[in-house]
């Protein structure tokens, strides 16, 4: 989700910015630990960032003040953990705000939190749960990407409902309205993102098996093949 420039009240924008800054700092430390002594992983990290940039740059107007789009954060969350996606999302969203007028600087913190913190956490958790109960890798990756996208949409709806409660029904009524409007475009987008992420993971698995092994992915046996 991209909440547009100047749309959030200043206090809300500042609070989301502070929380996201802490998450970005934690994410930078997480990335540093992941690539320390393993320079070959930097290329894979770059691929994850590019995937996020390309997918999240595709947008459909959804309602005044925001838009719907894929996020691309599920892949990086699976590979490097959810914390790593906060700085990646911050860089991606900053470039998009400056270069293609997606989002904005005052709403950067809110957008980073929804796309780079909440979404990856849910997506990563879904992936780990799916693998723990023995679901196939492809289905696990699909669920992670789909739920990372949907969690971003839900978080943005929460952010907008907090900032603009309904005059009659308050926060709850506003949240239902935002969720309902976003669902029309976001649900099919999330399904499409899940499929694209499975294809991308399969490509990485085929051509970058050594890098996946360095990240702790076991590449032997039919179960691990997408």
- SS3 call for 38: coil
Mean pLDDT within 41-50: 89
Rank 37-51, 61-75, 94-108, 162-176 by mean pLDDT and report only the highest. 162-176
Can you give the pLDDT at residue 51? 92
pLDDT tens-digit readout, 159-200: 999 999 989 889 999 999 888 887 777 888 899 999 999 999
Can you give the pLDDT at residue 121? 97
Residue 219 has pLDDT above 70, yes or no: no
How many CB atoms are closer than 10 A to CB 219? 11
Mean pLDDT within 148-158: 93
Mean pLDDT within 205-214: 75
Can you give the pLDDT at residue 12? 96
The answer to whether residues 130 and 139 touch, using CB atoms and an 8 Å cutoff, is yes
The span from the CA of 214 to the CA of 225, in Å, is 17
Q: Which domains does the chain have, with CATH numbers?
A: 10-224 (1.10.1760.20)
With a pLDDT cut of 70, the percent of the chain lying above it is 91
Can you give the pLDDT at residue 10? 94
Residue 218 has pLDDT above 60, yes or no: no
Can you give the pLDDT at residue 222? 39
The span from the CA of 167 to the CA of 34, in Å, is 48
Mean pLDDT within 50-58: 87
- Cα 38 to Cα 44, 46, 79, 89, 118: the distances in Å are 11, 14, 14, 22, 27
Reported pTM: 0.88
Can you give the pLDDT at residue 69? 81
Residue 72 has pLDDT above 80, yes or no: yes
The span from the CA of 70 to the CA of 197, in Å, is 11
Where residue 221 falls among pLDDT bands split at 50, 70, 90?
Answer: very low
The span from the CA of 66 to the CA of 61, in Å, is 7
The answer to whether residues 41 and 214 touch, using CB atoms and an 8 Å cutoff, is yes
Q: How big is the CA angle at 88 (ends 87 and 94), to the nearest 5 degrees? A: 85
């Amino acid at each position: 989700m991209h909440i547009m420039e100047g749309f959030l009240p200043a206090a809300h924008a500042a609070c989301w910015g502070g929380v996201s800054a802490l998450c970005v700092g934690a994410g930078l430390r997480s990335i540093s630990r992941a690539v320390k002594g393993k320079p070959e992983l930097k290329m894979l990290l770059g691929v994850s960032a590019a995937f996020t940039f390309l997918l999240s740059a595709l947008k459909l107007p959804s309602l005044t003040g925001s838009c719907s789009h894929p996020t691309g954060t599920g892949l990086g969350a699976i590979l490097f953990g959810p914390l790593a996606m906060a700085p990646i999302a911050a860089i991606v969203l900053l470039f998009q705000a400056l270069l293609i007028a997606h989002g904005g600087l005052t709403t950067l913190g809110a957008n980073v939190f929804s796309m780079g913190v909440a979404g990856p956490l849910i997506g990563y958790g879904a992936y780990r749960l799916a693998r723990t109960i023995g679901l196939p890798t492809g289905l696990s990756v699909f669920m992670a990407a789909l739920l990372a996208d949907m969690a971003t949409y839900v978080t943005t709806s929460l952010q907008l409902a907090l900032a603009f409660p309904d005059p009659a029904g308050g926060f709850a009524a506003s949240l239902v309205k935002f969720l309902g409007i976003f669902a029309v475009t976001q649900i099919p987008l999330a399904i499409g993102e899940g499929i694209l992420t499975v294809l991308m993971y399969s490509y990485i698995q085929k051509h970058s098996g050594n890098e996946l092994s360095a990240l702790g992915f076991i590449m032997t046996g039919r179960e691990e093949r997408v």
